[in-house]
A and B are shown apart, each in its own frame.
Chain A
Amino acid sequence: MTSHAELLLDVRNLNVSFATEEGIVQAVDEVSFKLHAGEVLAVVGESGSGKSVTAMTLMGLTRSPNARFAGSAKLRDLDLVHASNAELRAVRAEEIAMIFQDPMTSLNPVHRIGRQIVEQIEAHRDVSDGEARDQVVALLERVGIPRARERFDSYPHEFSGGMRQRVMIAMALSCDPAVLIADEPTTALDVTIQAQILEVLKELRARTNAGVILVTHDLGVVADIADRIAVMYAGRIVEEGSTDEVFYNPQHPYTWGLLGSITRVDRPRPARLPSIPGLPPSLIRTPQGCHFRPRCPHAHDACLAKPELAARLPGETGHEDRCVLSPERKRALRETDGQIGLVAGGVTE
């Protein structure tokens, strides 16, 4: 579907680690993915799976004296991982923009919201104040802020959470970026507001040809909007494929555990909500071999070797996973784990 679209972002073997007092935190471990124009890639995982760090690294926002990077993340021809600060500054907002998780704290409380967007436009474009102002008013209208010309001069505290997130979206779009990263854009919002923000994103998706990376732990959001899904666990991508492939034919036990833990109104109600037993591992001492091994009911000796992310299903070349079980075995096990989610196999650490 997207094979002819322009390749915007090519992330290869991205590794991000942080030196902390407790030890080295391997936050992102050999992450590779591609993003094409017009495509929505959802990065799904629990808290601490490395999805936000991956997103922030693409923006250069994880750079610090304690951070170590390896691999590459090419935005067209520029490697975002090794770009100089000046090169990064030039592409930020202009080529790659980000919407953050918490709109309540992501806007500067002492500046007017319109000025905060104008500031970004003026950092990249040679425009007059009046032109920038008109552009911002148009943007605010586009993301659904009523009376945008008046609200231009409002301060963030005069806006609700949903309205602030609309401002953040308008800001991210103001320089027409090729890549838009939305890091849990609806997590901090009420459910009704979440739906509105998703509508805004969907509409923008239809109108622009930007590639979108949607970081989320909410599978409901994903099914609705994503073309492709990358499932992350403990710093690694454990499965990647088209939305249909991942939803209807999940290959990694973690993915089917994750899908099993969604409550579904069209299925008989289970006695307990299914959950995956155990906790995600510490990223300082990750398990040997497969990171999911200690929580996986189907772990065996072969799982002590590090599994590669590879296409293992005949006919689904774009569908890759990191589980060494044979596709036939997976299908059988998935049936028995079935609609009640994962059952604890007793292998816990």
Chain B
Amino acid sequence: MGRFVIRRLIGMVVVMFAVSVLTFLIFNVIPNGAPEDRMAGRNSTPVQIAAIREEWGFDKPLYTQYLTTMKKVLDGDLISYANQTNVIEEIKRGLPRTLALAIGAALIWFSLGVALGLYTAIRAGRWTDTLVTVLALIGVSMPVFWLGALATYYLGFKAGIFPNGGYSEIGEAGLWEWVKHMILPWCVLATLFIGVYSRVLRSNVLDTINDDYVRTARAKGLTERRVMIHHVLRNSLIPIVTLWGLDFGAVLSGGAILTESVFDLQGVGQYFADSIDQLDVPPVLAVTLFGAFFIVLLNTLVDIVYAALDPRIRLS
């Protein structure tokens, strides 16, 4: 276990190094990538541009630029090219919003996905199963930006039940305001996953229910409820929990960009999208590293949890 975690940590450093180099290179080869042109403004002279190049170090070799940038990332004083704000501070400001969105949505999609999956598996072949299947398919097929726009328009703007997007700090307007601002983003982001999870769990349960040990459990004289939860669901959930960890990591590290933008939550994802829009390398690089960190972290956690859930798995 200890060796497993150390190996994963080393792997994390390697992954983050590779990701940072790639991101850095991409933004240096794409057309119109030179930051000094944009920083100097429309009516700039070659002299001004040269001055900016020297001031920001853009005249140095690429590897020197990379090293100084990475040093700034580690020191926490990375400055955006576009608006000269501190990138790390911006990410710190956006992180609670992104976490709130991701955690809330993940809890909703896991619990509803499992509940619907179990229900449809038990009712397999009946009309309720078919109905939920169709709904799941619709849920999977609806794009987040479209569903989000509809939700804010009808439930927010028209009906006035929910606020028209934006984020509310718990410390400023209270818990209830915060929840009211988060409900729509949570549900919209969770919709896609609920559809996927209920389908995956349904097929897992239907596979497990025919396993020999479930027959043994029935032969023991256990109640049907105990057979379903303790034997069928317990085994069917293992792959779902794995999937959940990976999806949660993916949502944290970029999967919520559209949801954050549609509801104007000003989280890390929206910051990322805006920065790409302005070809602003420092925030893009920092958020990419941040995302890679969460993906590797969640992968490691998933492996540890997986070994805890299935005693046949050994970490090595």
Contact = CB atoms under 8 A, between A and B. Distances in A.
B234 A110 contact: yes
Interface range for B: 20 to 34
A108 B231 contact: yes
24 contacts: A59-B219, A85-B224, A92-B220, A92-B221, A93-B220, A94-B221, A102-B212, A105-B211, A106-B212, A106-B213, A108-B235, A109-B310, A110-B234, A110-B235, A110-B238, A110-B309, A110-B310, A110-B311, A111-B234, A119-B220, A119-B230, A120-B220, A157-B311, A171-B220
Given A109-B235, A109-B310, A157-B311, A93 B213 contact: no
A108 B311 CA distance: 11
A90 B221 CA distance: 6
Contacts of A155: 311-312
Contacts of B230: 111, 119
Given A102-B212, A105-B211, A119-B230, 13 more contacts: A89-B223, A91-B221, A92-B218, A100-B212, A100-B219, A108-B235, A110-B234, A110-B235, A119-B222, A123-B226, A157-B312, A168-B216, A171-B216
Of B211, B213, B221, B235, chain A has the most CB atoms within 10 Å of the CB of: B221
Interface in B213-261: 213, 215-224, 226, 230-231, 234-235, 238
A107 B213 contact: yes
A98 interface: yes
A37 B92 CA distance: 75
Interface of A: 59-61, 85, 89-94, 97-98, 100, 102, 105-111, 119-120, 123-124, 155, 157, 168, 171
Contacts of B310: 109-110
Query: Which 3 interchain pairs have the tightest Cβ spacing?
Result: A92-B221, A105-B212, A120-B220
B310 to A, nearest CB: 6
Contacts of A60: 218
Contact of A97 (B219, B222, B309): B219
A155 B231 CA distance: 14
Contacts of B235: 108-110
Given A89-B223, A157-B311, A108 B215 contact: no
A218 to B, nearest CB: 20
Contacts of A108: 213, 216-217, 231, 234-235
Contacts of B238: 110
B312 to A, nearest CB: 5
Nearest to B232: A108
Contacts of A119: 220, 222, 230
B221 A106 contact: no
Nearest to A154: B311
Nearest to A121: B220
A105 B219 contact: no
A118 to B, nearest CB: 11
Contacts of A91: 221
Contacts of A90: 221
Contacts of A85: 224
Nearest to B219: A98
Nearest to B211: A105
B209 to A, nearest CB: 11
Contacts of B212: 100, 102, 105-106
Of B215, B220, B231, chain A has the most CB atoms within 10 Å of the CB of: B220
Nearest to A89: B221
Given A100-B212, A100-B215, A109 B221 contact: no
A107 B230 CA distance: 13
B231 A124 contact: no
Contacts of A100: 212, 215-216, 219
B219 A92 contact: yes
Nearest to A60: B218
A111 B223 CA distance: 17
A165 to B, nearest CB: 12
A119 B216 CA distance: 12
Interface string B99-121: 00000000000000000000000
Contacts of A168: 216
Contacts of B309: 110
B202 to A, nearest CB: 18
A61 B231 contact: no
Of B211, B213, B231, chain A has the most CB atoms within 10 Å of the CB of: B213
Of B219, B223, B231, B310, chain A has the most CB atoms within 10 Å of the CB of: B219
A19 to B, nearest CB: 14
Interface in B190-226: 211-213, 215-224, 226
Given A110-B234, A110-B235, A155-B312, A105 B218 contact: no
B176 to A, nearest CB: 41
A59 B220 CA distance: 10
Nearest to B215: A61
B109 to A, nearest CB: 24
A67 B211 CA distance: 19
Interface string B254-292: 000000000000000000000000000000000000000
Nearest to B217: A108
Nearest to B311: A155
A153 to B, nearest CB: 10
A93 B226 CA distance: 15
